[in-house]
Chains A and B, each alone.
Chain A
Amino acid sequence: MAVHRIITNRKTFNCFVNTKWVSNLSSVRWFSSVQPPELPPFDYQPVPYNGPLADQVFEKRKKYLGPSLFHYYQKPLNIVEGKMQYLFDEKGRRYLDAFAGIVTVSCGHCHPEILRAIEEQNKLLQHATTIYLHHAIADFAEGLAAKMPGNLKVVYFVNSGTEANELAMLMARLYSGNLGMIGLRNAYHGGSAGTIGLTALNTWKYPIQQGEIHHVVNPNPYRGVFGSDASLYAQDVQDHIDHGTSGRVAGFISETIQGVGGAVELAPGYLKLVYEMVRKAGGVCIADEVQTGFGRTGSHYWGFQTQDVIPDIVTMAKGIGNGLPLGAVVTTPEIAQVMAQKIQFNTFGGNPVCSAGGLAVLKVLDKENRQKHCADVGSHLITRLKNLQQKFDIIGDVRGRGLMVGIELVTNYKDKTPAKAETAVLFEKLRELGVLVGKGGLHGNVFRIKPPMCFNKDDADFLVDALDYSISKL
């Protein structure tokens, strides 16, 4: 694009300081770095807030929630209300929620249809457990199974991604009769003792017993030693199996786009190769869809579909209930049979309210065509970000798909030195401008853009403009 070539660095750009360029072909917009961009309009007034203020809440947190509880921002943000893709603080100020409570609020904060489903069920029955029948769990299981390819149609309901991955690991070990699990470096799969073993980022791993876990080289196209060459990365898996295990393994687990790890999309073709190796070694393949599921990637409903594979077990949580504490494991009848040897019970899992909420989410996402929307808005967003990457050296990589996007910041484009301090500064600046993003990557230098799926092109533009403005001010 000719426009890009003109504006390759800040010096040249400053000549155009008061100019706005709009291109028909790629909707490139260049904001002046003099005025900050404005939030898209939103026809809604938040309820006036009379509750405790930020300082009070923060004090109480420090006292009653332990010193290990961390938070975003130097001056923590008191979020009191949410509506669709926006959040409101104690002063009624509106923010663009580009992180969705960590990829969780899939339909939008307080989405009316989800609320209606939850409220109606809440008035009838919150909880009785599966020792009695109730239609909500059965209907929701059916709805979920209908979204699955292959023979994936037995659903287990739990309360979180951690619980789901714990159960998946248990299934893998029981079904295969083997112990060794294989996971990717840079993965995140949970915060319990068992899933901490699978999680492979030292900041999240307490010094505890991990059991037999083999952490293989991450097929990271940006930072990985083999670039995007899936077969070379896959060979590492075979190496581990041949030398680090008895030759037989329990299973392999991965996210298709690593979330906490910084929106790292696995090198294309990787899973196909690895799944075959793992199955040959007697193991099962687990797809952790906690972040990538439910149409977020735009091109497909499930992340694993972007790699053209069908796993044996799929785990999900976060977006499944638009924020309701809910998780699920879907597997084949064959694997489920093994679990029937003993009693497997979850008190809260599959309760009527969460099931009703979950089913409403499936319906809303379909009705509002969210998968396609993610594809459209996502590609618009990524295109604009890639253009921004041309403008600023600090943007080392723009990656992801649909509304699961990562922006990695580096101080040196060639060496890819993580720009930790700059990321922190920009993070704050974005908040000041009204954009709340997420952070990730082992070095905390990746912006994670994973908004509620009702995020639109105007929101995308605002976000990119805000980033543009903030980086210019660095």
Chain B
Amino acid sequence: MHKFATSLRRLTADGDKIGRCSRRWFSQLPQRQLPETADVSAGAPIIPPFDYSPPAYVGPTADEILRKRKEFLSPSMFYLYKKPLNVVHGKMQYLFDENGRRYLDGFGGIATVNCGHCHPDVVQAIINQITTIQHSTILYLNHCIADFAAALAAKMPGDLKVVFFTNSGTEANELAMMIARLYTGCQDMISLRNAYHGNAAGTMGVTAQSNWKFNIVQNGVHHAMNPDPYRGVFGADGEKYAKDIDDLIQFGTSGHVAGFIFEAIQGVGGIVELAPNYLPHAYNSIKKAGGLVIADEVQSGFARTGTNFWGFQNQGIVPDIVTMAKGIGNGIPLGAVVTTPEIAKVLTRRSYFNTFGGNPVCTAAGHAVLKVIERENLQENAHVVGSYLKQRLIALKDKHEIIGDVRGRGLILGVELVTDRKLKTPAKTEILEIMDMMKDLGVLVGKGGFYGNVFRITPPLCFTKEDADFLVDAMDYSMSKL
């Protein structure tokens, strides 16, 4: 496949005849105009072939939608690209716009669509369940929630086997924080600067990037120094960063804390993998202060890191509480909190209830996702393809000065762009241009980091080496055109 793709690229050297042919073959363009593309001049990389034609789209156009969005939706709702993209259909690792043009989805709906868009098994599981019963609540029994909880627990180490279902990562983290505070009787929560954990009042407190924090009362939250190997003052020395936790506890709290919450690889923060050896030390400090350790696996979970199922497993600790969402249901609104039976008891003090949480359809989808990940060896694929992709990106770094750092693991990768490698000045405007050029070439990636200068590459885990090549080639091509 790889050879075929490269030879195809070479063939396009003499005009883009073949490029146009393959585009026509793979996308239906009956009544609509040809897809508008930027330059598809000689040498531009070509999207890997995909034996699938999307159905024709006859719905509202991008402009109509944008107008309605401006009128009826939040004014703070943003979109990517100068000319926002109307994504109407998805199939595995590809997305299609209103003109039927295919794009490589390098972002996965923000690390969410792990199995692939409209994965047949997941869609079937949803349709089977939705035609049986969508919703009844846990007031009645239904096997879906129980089966999925058991399957999820089976993926957990240690004594982590009690599951609470929610509808989002925010709800999961809110619940985790409440559990920690109730269990310990303490209020103080510690999170890392640059973290993202959610948008409700409590989670907004532990979220630690000013862009995402409204001016509200933050109760008992302490933001520890981020063990950022690239930008952090201690480089990759995890232990040095961990001392900041001790410091915060000794001076900023009563000496006892409710807990510590972290992402093994910070997502919104720009794919920052915590410095090696950081977590075990942080874990000890928190334990000494009687706190619980909460692993936010919303982005790093469900095989995405390739080496392990959960991000925290790459860091050598077993947390007390694990939260998850995003990839758990391949895009269906679902979240979960997993903890130990002992800690779970704390919620028996009162009644805790979540109306939609654990409904038959979402749990059936979640269960299907676990099966797909296993059957299709997605973790292995994430590891193999991810490592390959990372290698190619590192090679690209040698070619382009603008790449300051390449990091991450498996299929949660980040490429940080800087205008000056020594000063690490964020390339805030350049990244937007490159991102737009890549989109014109047919590659969609995400953006993150405090300065918005990090490409986030978190595609569906069925991503192939050919896709990886296409992505890197598109990035290469775009950077060359800057």
Which residues of A are in contact with B by a Cβ distance under 8 Å?
47, 51-52, 54, 56-58, 60-61, 63-72, 76-82, 87, 101-102, 104-105, 109-110, 115, 118-119, 122-135, 137-139, 141-142, 144-145, 153-156, 158-163, 166-167, 169-170, 173-174, 179, 191-194, 196, 202-209, 211, 317-318, 322-326, 333, 336-337, 339-351, 353-354
* CB contact between A115 and one of B130, B161, B163, B215 (< 8 Å): that residue: B130
Chain B residues with a Cβ under 8 A of chain A: 55, 59-60, 62, 64-66, 68-69, 71-80, 84-90, 95, 109-110, 112-113, 117-118, 123, 126-127, 130-143, 145-147, 149-150, 152-153, 161-164, 166-171, 174-175, 177-178, 181-182, 187, 199-202, 204, 211-217, 219-220, 325-326, 330-334, 341, 344-345, 347-359, 361-362, 446
User: Top 4 A-B pairs ranked by shortest CB distance?
Assistant: A127-B331, A323-B135, A60-B146, A68-B347
A163–B95 CA distance with the chains assembled, in angstroms: 29
Instruction: A118-B130, A167-B199 given; name 14 further pairs at CB < 8 Å.
Output: A61-B138, A66-B162, A67-B348, A68-B347, A127-B331, A138-B60, A154-B73, A161-B355, A191-B352, A191-B353, A211-B219, A336-B75, A342-B213, A347-B169
Q: Which of B59, B113, B152, B354 contacts A191 (CB 8 A)?
A: B354
Given the complex, which residues of A lie within 8 Å of B131, measured CB to CB? 110, 115
28 A–B contacts from the bound complex (CB under 8 Å): A57-B142, A64-B150, A64-B163, A66-B347, A68-B351, A87-B140, A109-B134, A118-B130, A119-B130, A125-B88, A127-B332, A128-B87, A132-B87, A133-B65, A133-B87, A134-B86, A138-B72, A163-B200, A194-B174, A194-B201, A205-B350, A324-B134, A337-B75, A340-B75, A344-B199, A345-B77, A345-B199, A348-B167
A79 adjacent to B136 (CB under 8 Å): yes
Contact assessment for A346 and B118 in the assembled complex, using a CB-CB cutoff below 8 Å: no
Bound form: Cα–Cα A64–B159 in Å: 11
Q: Point out the residue from A68, A119, A193 that lies within 8 Å of B202, measured CB to CB.
A: A193
| Beta-carbon nearest neighbor of B72 in chain A | A141
Whole-angstrom distance from the CB of B346 to the nearest CB of chain A?
A: 8
Q: Are A347 and B76 in contact (CB under 8 A)?
A: no
Q: Write the nearest CB–CB distance from B426 to chain A, whole angstroms.
A: 17
> Taking each of B130, B164, B359, which has the highest tally of chain A beta carbons within 10 Å of its own beta carbon?
B130
Among residues of A, the one whose C-beta sits closest to the C-beta of B68 is A138
Specify which chain B residues have a CB less than 8 angstroms from the CB of A203 in the assembled complex: 350-351
Cα distance A392–B353 when bound, in Å?
33
Also in contact, A162 and B164, with CB within 8 A (given A79-B133, A109-B133, A138-B68): no
- Are A209 and B219 also in contact (CB < 8 A) when A126-B331, A128-B90, A138-B73 are? yes
Complex Cα spacing A220 to B362, Å: 37
Are B77 and A204 in contact (CB-based, < 8 A)?
Answer: no
Q: Which residues of A contact B347 (CB under 8 A)?
A: 66, 68, 206
Residues from chain B with a CB closer than 8 A to the CB of A61 are 138, 141, 145-146, 149
- Report the separation of the CA atoms of residues A141 and B187 in the bound assembly, to the nearest whole angstrom: 38
User: Quick check: B60 and A139 within 8 Å, CB to CB?
Assistant: yes
CB distance from A195 to the nearest CB of B (A): 9
Total A-B Cβ pairs within 8 A: 381
A160 and B182 contact, CB distance less than 8 A:
no
The residue on A at minimum CB distance from B298 is: A347
* With A160-B356, A193-B201, A346-B199: A67-B62 Cβ-Cβ less than 8 Å: no
Docked CA distance A158–B110 (Å): 16
- A67 near B79: Cβ-Cβ < 8 Å: no
**Do A76 and B140 touch (CB < 8 A)?**
yes
Out of B74, B167, B171, B325, name the residue touching A336 (CB < 8 Å).
B74
Who on chain A is nearest to B345 by CB? Answer: A67
- Min CB gap A62→B, angstroms: 9
Query: Smallest CB-CB separation from B177: which chain A residue?
Result: A193
CB pair A153–B167 under 8 Å, yes or no, is: no
Q: Is the pair A126, B212 in contact by a Cβ cutoff of 8 Å?
A: no
Q: Which residue of A lies closest to B330 (CB)?
A: A126
Distance of A185 from chain B, by nearest CB (Å): 16
Q: Which residue of A lies closest to B152 (CB)?
A: A64
Q: Are B113 and A123 in contact (CB under 8 A)?
A: no
Which residues of the partner chain A approach B200 to less than 8 Å between Cβ atoms? Answer: 163, 166-167, 170, 192, 194
Q: Report the separation of the CA atoms of residues A348 and B178 in the bound assembly, to the nearest whole angstrom.
A: 22
Most buried by B among A60, A80, A128: A128
Asked if residues B84 and A133 are in contact (CB atoms below 8 Å), the reply is yes
Tell me the bound Cα distance from A192 to B171 in angstroms. Answer: 7
Distance of A341 from chain B, by nearest CB (Å): 7
